[in-house]
Amino acid sequence: MTRSIEITSIDDNLTPLLRQTEKDEIEERRKVDCIIEFKETNGQDTSGSQTKKCVNQIFDKIFKDLNNSSIKSCTIFKVNVGLRESNSAAYTPKMVSIGPYHKNEPQLVSMEKYKLLYLQRFLQRNKSLDVESCISELEKLKEDAIKCYDDIEDVDTDEFCKMLLLDGCFVVEFIRDRCQLWEGEEEIFNSNIGCIQNQILRDLMLLENQLPFFILNKLHHMTREDDELSLAVQAILPSTFFVELQEMTFELFIEAEYNVGNIKHLLHAVHMFACHGNPVKESNKNIKWHKSMPNATELSEAGVSFAKVRNHFNSNKDNNTDMKSLFDIKFENGLMTIPCFQVEDETETLLRNLIAFEQQSYDMQPKYFSDFAVFMDYLIDSDKDVNLLRRKGIIENCMGEDKDVSTLFNKIANGVTIYPTFYYNEECIKAYQHCDKTLNRVMANLMRNYFSSPWVGASTVAAIILLILTTIQTILAFTGSVK
């Protein structure tokens, strides 16, 4: 039985919408009827191949939609539950939303007027541009942009293009502000109010708060001055990080320019720059790390020494070993060298988002930040371990209590998958073997049980002296009686 929809009087503007709705209803009923018929016949074709053909068409469309979504092209992810559950706030914007995931959240709406101000300034840089022409250019890229996101449904393409323009201009102009390329240009955000700029910069480093870099690069090129730095370089310069970044050499400028087509988004740009020049270790498939490495205190008690290393361009400050990056951790002959790094209020947020990006990207190897977090989780169990590393100059604690730093590293590796290519396999095995040696293990037990604190150590020394004196007295008494 079919149902007819009678339209007696209606606005002509709504007629196409109703007609489309009627068509959608008919199509949905056709699909349901096909599936019901398929179930009733138990898959048996009683009147030919019509039923099977109908069901196949349904699934063919589903498969086509899956192929169109192109899972491999997804680069901007929603952080999975395993990583998010230990600190969901680290993945959530506080000041500004970029992209579709956090759009229209009430606490972020106040920043929309600043997006319009940045759009206005963006258009003023090139008098031939207007909103319509910009959106027209972005429409050519919208399909590729949509595929970059993880499972966004019912996309209104017009609204999506407007969002790309507003959010993209905001990011491009904010980065230009931070780099202070044009003297005398009025800032949208006063640099004297540093907390606002820092919170925005923090939000721009969130995995869920990204735009595809090819969108940003397109907008940048629309208004780029002849002598202006590339957006890739500009994006890196103001990015805060908890270890001193490498010196911006001419080679790195060329590297950033050359790899601009491979950059997925701003967070990826920071990741690429932080990992630049770090050697890829050959994994030994016969050696896999499955045990927990002793923590810093246990290693120290077993005779392991710790030393800090700094970036090569700061090595003249101290007579320390040169290093190339944050990840250049070595263990040789009882000496563990670790790069000096700062732990600040936003360290956890940045590190967590870099880890999430690595964990959810199929083509990211080695997973430098993930493996660094796991290694530090091995090394730090309590505030005693942080205190030891801080006294050695390895950790610069800008958070406050050592307990806060230990809590950070104890939780940050939750949900992180360790792969056979674990970057610190060799260092963990050497450290474990060093502590597993009989003499080192005995010394470690002695230090832990009898010299764990100054008072316990003093009591142990006093007991030893008393034992020695008692032994001497006994010997003297025995020899005297023999005479």
Report, as an integer, the average pLDDT of 51-59.
Answer: 69
- At residue 9 the predicted structure's pLDDT band, cuts being 50, 70 and 90, is very low
Please determine, for residue 188, whether its predicted confidence score (pLDDT) is greater than 90.
Answer: no
**Structural contact between residues 395 and 389, judged by C-beta atoms closer than 8 angstroms:** yes
309 membership: H or E segment, kind and range: strand 305-311
In the sheet with 330-332, reading across from the earlier edge strand, the strands are 322-323, 305-311, 335-339, 330-332
Residue 300 tokens, joined: 């120290």
pLDDT score recorded for residue 46:
52
Does position 148 have pLDDT exceeding 70, yes or no?
Answer: yes
Q: Cα dihedral angle (450, 453, 455, 461), rounded to 10 degrees?
A: 40
Percent of the chain with pLDDT over 70: 68
Q: Which pLDDT value is given to residue 444? A: 55
What ranges in 41-183 are assigned the alpha helix state H? 50-69, 81-84, 112-124, 131-139, 142-147, 157-179
User: Would you say residue 135 has pLDDT above 70?
Assistant: yes
pLDDT exceeds cutoff 70 at 451: no
Q: What is the mean pLDDT of residues 378-403?
A: 94
Q: Is the peptide bond between 366 and the residue preceding it cis, with omega within 30 degrees of 0?
A: yes
> What pLDDT, on the 0 to 100 scale, is given for residue 31?
54
> pLDDT at residue 3 above 50?
no
Instruction: Specify the pLDDT at position 24.
Output: 56
Conformation bin of residue 393: beta by default, left when phi > 0, alpha when psi is -120 to 50: left
Where is pLDDT greater, at 244 or 404?
404
Q: Give residue 74's Cα distance to chain centre.
A: 15
Residue with tokens 């994006």: 235
- The set of residues, in sequence order, having a beta carbon less than 8 Å from that of 296 and lying 6+ positions away, is 306, 379, 380, 385, 388, 389
Residue 8 has pLDDT above 70, yes or no: no
Mean of all residue pLDDT scores within the chain? 79
Output the pLDDT for position 438.
47
If we measure between CA atoms, which residue out of 355, 353, 400 comes closest to residue 377? Answer: 355
- Looking at residue 313, what is its pLDDT? 38
CB atoms within 10 A of CB 154: 4
Taking the C-alpha atoms of residue 241 and residue 311, their distance in angstroms, rounded to an integer, is: 14
Burial of residue 139, with CB atoms counted within 10 A of its CB: 0-12 exposed, 13-18 middle, 19 or more buried:
middle
Distances 117 to 7, 165, 174, 186, 397 between C-alpha atoms, Å? 46, 13, 11, 11, 38
> What is the mean predicted confidence (pLDDT) over 176-190?
72
pLDDT, greater one: 244 or 332: 332
H/E element, 113: helix 112-124
User: For the chain, what is the radius of gyration of the CA atoms?
Assistant: 31
Q: What is the average pLDDT across 108-129?
A: 94
Element (H, E) at 201: helix 194-204
pLDDT at 144: 94
List the single range of 89-103, 120-134, 248-262 with lowest mean pLDDT: 248-262
Q: Which of 178, 264, 270, 180 is nearest to 216 (CA)?
A: 264
Q: Which residue has the higher pLDDT, 1 or 286?
A: 286
Specify the pLDDT at position 471.
Answer: 81
Q: What is the pLDDT of residue 28?
A: 57
Q: Between these two residues, 289 and 51, which has the higher pLDDT value?
A: 51
Residue with the two structure tokens 């949509």: 146
Q: Give 330's strand partners.
A: 337
Q: For residue 135, give the nearest of 168, 170, 104, 102 by alpha carbon.
A: 168
Query: How sure is the predictor about 401, in pLDDT bands with cuts at 50, 70 and 90?
Result: very high
Considering only residues 153 and 370, tell me which one the structure prediction assigns the higher pLDDT: 370
Helix (H, G, I), strand (E, B) or coil at 128: coil
> What mean pLDDT is predicted for residues 381-385?
95
pLDDT above 90: percentage of residues in the chain: 44
| pTM greater than 0.85 (yes/no) | no
Q: Is residue 210 within 8 Å of residue 266, measured between CB atoms? A: yes
With H, G, I as helix, E, B as strand and everything else as coil, classify residue 250.
helix
Q: Which residue has the tokens 């050695």?
A: 392
For residues 143 and 136, what is the distance between their CA atoms, to the nearest angstrom? 13
Determine which helix (DSSP H) or strand (DSSP E) holds 396, and give its type and residue range: strand 395-397
332 has pLDDT over 80: yes
For residue 346, give Cα distances in angstroms to 91, 105, 272.
Answer: 11, 22, 20
Band the pLDDT of 365: cuts 50, 70, 90.
confident
Token reading at 139: 């429409």
More confident residue, 408 or 187: 408
Range of 299-303, 405-409, 427-431 with top mean pLDDT: 405-409
For 326, the token pair is 């944050």
Q: What pLDDT does residue 343 have?
A: 92
pLDDT band at 319 (very low <50, low <70, confident <90, very high): very low
pLDDT category, 198, cuts 50, 70, 90?
A: confident
- Answer with the residue of higher pLDDT: 438 or 432: 432
Lowest mean pLDDT segment, chosen from 109-118, 124-133, 151-160, 232-241: 232-241
